[in-house]
Amino acid sequence: MADRFINPCNTDIHLKYQICQELDMNSKEFEVNDDNTICDESDIKENRKYAKFLASNLLHTEEKKCNCSDSSQNDENSSEYCEYCISKYNKKKRKRLFKYNTQHNIQSKGRPLDIFRKRIALKPMENPTRKISSIAYRVLDAPGLINDYYCNLLDWSKNDIVSIGLGASCYLWQGKTEKSKKLCDRKTNTISALNFNQSGSKLCIGYQDGLIEIWDPIKCQIERSYLNHARKVGTLSCKENILASGSMDSQVVIQDLRCSPITCDVLDYHSQEVVGLKWNNYGDFLASGGNDNKLLIWDSRNLEKPTLSLKGHKAAVKGITWSSQKDQVCLSGGGTADPTIRLWDINTGKLLQRIDTCAQIGSIIFSRNSNQFVTTHGFSTNESLQNKIFIWSLKQDYKQKAKKVATLSGHNTRVLYLALSPDGEKIITGAGGAMDHNNQFSCCETLRFWNVFPAKRKETSFSSSLFDSGAITIR
């Protein structure tokens, strides 16, 4: 690494390649002036053309033209110096071998090497477009999966366990063994919401009567239960030990799972049913969406009132997610009367962009590894857009409008349920049965697995670097 600290050489080609100290000063072939400069004029004349060619094409130095007044010696078509200029040049020659801040004219035109550089110049490589398969790689039957816009019945834990609410029963599907088992069955009390905590060590289940149960999905044991709501619990969002629950009673309840039910916070700022809840990536902000078309942002450090009340939607706000790349950006999706995705900056409260999907938005999830997100859809005036899954891509600054990069088909009823895999690459979608236009029951009670997002980038290791903190010892 020491060579980068050597100063650049002087642009004087004679001083570069004919160092006085390396010559035999006693030889008669060389004459040395008092200032130790070389004035071997015979060699200079013989090699001048070749030296100029090298200097022009390799060192990018401009050719010196003779500007003396002797017209007999100064021929425009000749590149030779006259005797007067040679002697004058030798007297002014500098002795310094190195020159500081040397500027090279690399923009000179017409030189052979410049033309060669243009030919071999490499264009910046463009990232190849990642192809997303339009076919689900796995399909599971989910008999009894209801088609209810105000329920959230699907989740995927960090431990690769999928939970699904089918009527009054909760089932677990283990990704490693590809086997399923029944966790619980409440007979007459229908499951309306479920959600894993961040580590996957707890599964929270909400019921139609307002009951919430906390289960250990590994041991398949119930740990505790809460009755914080008087009506149906339609949405849950749990960070490690703090559970947020939304109900038909229009309240949001924040419950610490390590404490008794008495020590909970009740947030009563929605005027209708709470249909969407989502903690941000760090768990310090909570977004709640209601059937009153409001999106409220709560600061976990001060829950007396919402930090922001974001208005603009004209239908229920069920689909809510947070950007994994920019913590201050929240995404929300509206229902049938307002099938739009809105991106909000919670630091300023401003709307970053609005995307019209032309179809009811059931769920939204943001990729953990990229600036992409997925939306699932239901009703639409355009039949070709009904019951679809859209993959969207955002630019880094989020100012340019999101681009739809893929459309997935497979469900023939509303795609209301959505979950993201632990590695952030795959999603699982769910759709329940429903009556079609001919009053016939459409049996589409299935779960579909899709590979849609890019893998996480591998971090580059700099451990072998000379400047690595562990490689340098300061005494």
The DSSP string of 435-465 is E-TTS-EE---EEEEEE-SPPPPPPPP-TTS
Phi–psi pair at 122, nearest 5 degrees: -95, 135
Q: What is the largest CA-CA distance in the chain?
A: 115
Q: If DSSP codes are grouped into helix, strand and coil, which group holds residue 46?
A: helix
- Alpha-carbon span 401 to 342, nearest angstrom: 11
Domains of the chain with bracketed CATH: 2-104 (no CATH), 138-451 (2.130.10.10)
Closest by Cα among 366, 418, 368, 367 to 389: 418
Tell whether the torsion through CA atoms of 279, 256, 294 and 412 is positive or negative.
positive
Phi–psi pair at 406, nearest 5 degrees: -160, 150
> Amino acid letter at 226?
Y
User: Given this model, what pLDDT does residue 8 score?
Assistant: 59
Cβ proximity of 343 and 352 under 8 Å: yes
Q: If DSSP codes are grouped into helix, strand and coil, which group holds residue 190?
A: coil
Q: Which pairs with CB-CB distance under 8 Å and at least 24 residues apart come from 335-342?
A: 335/149, 335/360, 335/361, 336/360, 336/378, 336/379, 338/293, 338/313, 338/314, 339/315, 339/377, 339/380, 340/313, 341/375, 341/392, 341/402, 342/295, 342/310, 342/312, 342/313
* Terminal C-alpha separation, the chain: 21
Instruction: Read off the tokens for 80.
Output: 């030779």
- Alpha-carbon span 152 to 276, nearest angstrom: 9
User: Given this model, what pLDDT does residue 444 score?
Assistant: 82
Per-residue pLDDT of the chain (475 residues; tens, 9 = 90+): 555 555 555 555 555 555 444 444 444 444 555 555 555 566 556 667 777 777 777 766 655 555 555 544 444 444 445 555 555 555 544 555 555 554 555 444 455 555 555 555 544 444 556 789 999 999 999 999 999 999 999 999 999 999 999 999 999 999 999 999 999 999 999 999 999 999 999 999 999 999 999 999 999 999 999 999 999 999 999 999 999 999 999 999 999 999 888 889 999 999 999 999 999 999 999 999 999 999 999 999 999 999 999 999 999 999 999 999 999 999 999 999 999 999 999 999 999 999 999 999 999 999 999 999 999 999 999 999 999 999 999 998 898 999 999 999 999 999 999 999 999 999 999 999 876 556 566 678 999 999 999 998 776 544 444 444 444 445 4
- Taking 3-state DSSP, the helix, strand and coil percentages for the chain, each rounded to the nearest 5, stand at 10, 35, 55
Phi–psi pair at 215, nearest 5 degrees: -115, 155
The residue with tokens 């950006």 is 329
Cβ proximity of 403 and 392 under 8 Å: yes
User: Given this model, what pLDDT does residue 467 score?
Assistant: 47
User: Given this model, what pLDDT does residue 40 score?
Assistant: 55
Full strand arrangement of the beta sheet holding 264-267 = 233-238, 242-247, 252-256, 264-267
> Amino acid letter at 474?
I
Closest by Cα among 288, 342, 290, 355 to 316: 290
User: Given this model, what pLDDT does residue 108 score?
Assistant: 46
- Alpha-carbon span 207 to 194, nearest angstrom: 9
- Alpha-carbon span 435 to 443, nearest angstrom: 9
Measured in residues, the chain has a length of 475
- Alpha-carbon span 142 to 154, nearest angstrom: 11
Cβ proximity of 440 and 407 under 8 Å: no
**SS3 string of 70-81?**
CCCCCCCCCCCC
